[in-house]
Amino acid sequence: MIYRLQHSKLLIFILNILIISGLIVACQSPKINNTEKVAVNPACIQNYDKNRDYFPDKITITRAKGFSIEYHNNYKTITINNPWKEAKTGFKYVLLQCGTPAPKDIKDSELITVPINSVVSLSTTHLPHLAKLGVVDKLVGVSDTKIVNTSEVVEKIKAGTIANVGSNASVNVERILELNPELVITYGTGNVNNDSYPKLLEAGLKVVINAEYMEDSPLGRSEWLKFTALFFNREKEAEQIFGEVAKKYDEIATKVKTVKERPTVFVGFNFKGTWYMPGGNSYAAKYLEDAGANYLWSNDKSSGSLPLSFEAIIEGANNADFWLNFSQKWKQKKEILAEDSRYGDFKAVKTGNLYNNNLRVNENSGNDYWEGGISNPDVVLSDLIKIFHPEILAKHELVFYRRVN
């Protein structure tokens, strides 16, 4: 009995010694272990210098009208001028270089640390920007994985690294919170019942509005690549990429400036009794002008869509040479005539000068014209010139447009 008691005391004594020794070792070594395990973000500034310019590469906005940028030494301020039609408010974002102190007075601006390392996009039009800038690896969620065409993003979706988070009107806030992105890029319409950004802000997420769709020119929309680049500190890349696109676009447009014959053209289709025709100062009208066509509603001075009757279209476009950009589901002439026999009265239908921008549509009806086309207006313009003036770009093969037979 005495032996067992002494043996137990000895074991307890040894265990206490081991525990104390372990604690001493643990107290002496955590700094080394933590240093080895915790990676330091190389993008963050370690020794802040208030006199240093942390954004030596800057963007210059030349075509877009919807946003502006102002640089400071360690932060940059983005102003969204016209987020949606008849907007009575704008948005300001302060992009703070990681590892530097925030400015004292930012008022109602949203503070976002850059460069960001994870992002959710609620519009497929933003995806080509991420691909061109080489930051698709930062993308963790999109609005609808099924309709995506951007190949780099499609690969990530197939690999299961990009989640489906719902559309602007029915966004899955809970899923986005699970993903915990540093930024959500969305758009606004001014309709509180459809817009996602109020719900996302309320959930505590960092949200920014991309208003590229409000631009009234192809290059204006394309230049929003620079807006995306600002959040990744990829200004240098964005300037080079957009500069090349703008140069190509202008060079191609120059080829048709002196054409003597400009074919007449109209666009759109009858939708539930209304034909929405783009205004003369719209994005679509600018494309047609630059492609050497005579757009029949070019004299209108609006930048939005004109709600017209079928009768008004027949009166104005019955003898037009070309009809473009109609229903995305139509791929054959018989489908057009089956929808409404009155379409057969148009000269363009009789002559077969029907072209639709649905050549690149995936199996889930995702149309790359509204994705890759936005980011590559020089290619879209080449398609249009090939349609109206095939002799000018004889070697060009249609990319986004198809002839409907």
- pLDDT tens by residue, 301-345: 999 899 999 999 999 999 999 999 999 889 999 999 999 999 999
Q: Is the model's pLDDT at 29 over the cut of 90?
A: no
Token output for 370:
């509204």
Question: 167-188: per-residue pLDDT in tens?
Answer: 878 899 999 999 999 999 999 9
Quote the pLDDT of residue 12: 42
Question: 69-90: per-residue pLDDT in tens?
Answer: 999 999 999 999 999 999 988 9
Tell me 222's DSSP state: H
Q: Are 321 and 347 in contact (CB under 8 A)?
A: yes
Quote the pLDDT of residue 268: 96
- The DSSP string of 84-107 is STT-S--EEEEEEETTSPPPS--T
What's the rounded Cα separation, in Å, for the pair 126 and 327?
A: 23
Quote the pLDDT of residue 193: 86
Q: Is the model's pLDDT at 14 over the cut of 50?
A: no
Q: Is the model's pLDDT at 26 over the cut of 90?
A: no
Quote the pLDDT of residue 15: 41
Of the pLDDT bands very low, low, confident and very high (cuts 50, 70, 90), residue 41 is confident
Q: What is the CA radius of gyration of the chain?
A: 28
Nearest to 400 by CA among 333, 350, 328: 328
Of the pLDDT bands very low, low, confident and very high (cuts 50, 70, 90), residue 40 is low
What's the rounded Cα separation, in Å, for the pair 340 and 254?
A: 39
Residue with the larger pLDDT of the pair 35 and 68: 68
Q: Are 263 and 321 in contact (CB under 8 A)?
A: yes
Question: 362-404: per-residue pLDDT in tens?
Answer: 999 999 999 999 999 999 999 999 999 999 999 999 999 999 9
Residue with the larger pLDDT of the pair 55 and 25: 55
Counted residue by residue, the chain has a size of: 405
Q: Is the model's pLDDT at 205 over the cut of 60?
A: yes
- Whole-number average pLDDT of the chain: 90
Of the pLDDT bands very low, low, confident and very high (cuts 50, 70, 90), residue 238 is very high
Q: Is the model's pLDDT at 189 over the cut of 90?
A: yes
Residue with the larger pLDDT of the pair 39 and 380: 380
Question: What's the CATH architecture for 67-248?
Answer: 3-Layer(aba) Sandwich (3.40)
First to last CA, the chain: 104
Return the SS3 of 344: helix
- The DSSP string of 248-317 is HHHHHHHTTTT-S---EEEE--EETTEEEEEPTTSHHHHHHHHTT-EETTTT---SSEEEE-HHHHHHHH
Return the SS3 of 327: coil
Q: Is the model's pLDDT at 347 over the cut of 70?
A: yes
Quote the pLDDT of residue 168: 78
**How many Cα atoms within 13 Å fall on the side-chain side of residue 385?**
25
Quote the pLDDT of residue 108: 79
Helix (H) or strand (E) holding 52: none
Quote the pLDDT of residue 11: 42
Beta strands in 290-396 (DSSP E): 294-295, 305-308, 322-324, 354-356
Quote the longest CA-to-CA distance of the chain.
117
Q: Where are the alpha helices (DSSP H) in 29-121?
A: 30-37
Which amino acid makes up residue 118?
S
Question: What's the CATH architecture for 255-403?
Answer: 3-Layer(aba) Sandwich (3.40)
What's the rounded Cα separation, in Å, for the pair 94 and 111?
A: 5
> In the chain, which residues fall in CATH 3.40.50.1980?
67-248, 255-403
Quote the pLDDT of residue 365: 93
Give the Cα-Cα-Cα angle 116, 119, 120 (nearest 5 degrees): 160
Dihedral over Cα of 248, 250, 253, 258: its sign: negative
Quote the pLDDT of residue 293: 98
- Is the previous residue joined to 115 through a cis bond, with omega within 30 degrees of 0? yes
The pTM score is 0.88
Residue with the larger pLDDT of the pair 127 and 23: 127
Quote the pLDDT of residue 171: 94
Return the SS3 of 361: strand
pLDDT-above-70 percentage for the chain: 90
Q: Is the model's pLDDT at 143 over the cut of 80?
A: yes
Residue with the larger pLDDT of the pair 120 and 28: 120
